[in-house]
Amino acid sequence: MVHVPTSIRTPARSLLTRWRLVALSLLAMSVVGYTAFTYTAFGQFRREAKGSVAGFRVVAEYPHDASAFTQGLVFTDGRLYEGTGKKGESSLRRVELKTGRIEQIVPLDSALFGEGIAVLDGKVFQLTWQNRLGIIYDQKTFDSLGTFRYTGEGWGLTHDGKRLILSDGTSTIRFLDTKTFEVVKRLKVRASNGPVDQLNELEFRKGEILANVWHTNRIARISPESGEVLGWIDLASLYPERQRQSREDVLNGIAYDEANDRLFVTGKNWPKIYEIEVVPQK
């Protein structure tokens, strides 16, 4: 038997002991991590199940100008209002729903890229994409009443009856005072698996904020109090992507007729506006 000197044997045992401690620590961390992951995943699954994905049923179809790069859609006082985008093509329109006829149109300056719109208190508010400029119109005449400023990009716009609600392509929604346009509230939108960004066109319906997520076929139902995604509306089969002319021809128009409880959706360069009924999946 080979004799191992004490001066060598003791450090070896110490090293072995250290490795064992490290291994045990890693094992403990793995168990704790797995337990935490399992708990979190289970909790998320329960929240996801509670806010299930809903489908839809088409109630009616209406003609839509297929050259309109739809950025915002509003239905109020029996008329449809639409904001369109692209530099040199941006506009604000009033449209007759049944025929698709443009009753009134105001083009934006060629340097501006139009975005979301909202109609409140006899005024139409329209965002621009990267100009950080909002335009205010008289609802009846479309005469310009002024402008307002905001930070970041402008994507979608709606209101809750008191405040304007603005999306900017991130996971944060801002609430603006309608007179000063100062931010009075910020809302971080989260689903079960984390923040939801690319929030685009907005609509306020039955106490919830509806938001389509850019380049997807889903609409998120968002709590205006907590920012939690309460559920999703899946519109993938409404106007299939294979029928669209471009990858940019995405879902991007949501309008709610509160007086008659009707929900309308369309997209950029879509040939139709669809009136839909949200149907919970079984």
Q: Which domain holds residue 32?
A: 1-50
**pLDDT tens column, 84-107:** 999 999 999 999 999 999 999 999
Residues 252 and 71 sit within 8 Å (Cβ to Cβ): yes
Write the CB contacts of 257 (distance below 8 Å, at least 6 apart in sequence): 75, 76, 263, 264
pTM of the model: 0.81
Residues 230 and 222 sit within 8 Å (Cβ to Cβ): yes
Into how many domains does the chain fold?
2
Taking 70 as the threshold, does the pLDDT of residue 37 lie above it?
no
Are 10 and 142 members of one domain? no
- Counting Cα atoms < 13 Å in the Cβ hemisphere of 201 gives 31
Are 140 and 188 members of one domain? yes
Taking 60 as the threshold, does the pLDDT of residue 48 lie above it?
no
pLDDT band at 12, cuts 50/70/90? very low
CATH of the domain at 83: 2.120.10.30
Six token digits for residue 103: 């009753």
Closest CA to 104 of 157, 141, 73, 129: 141
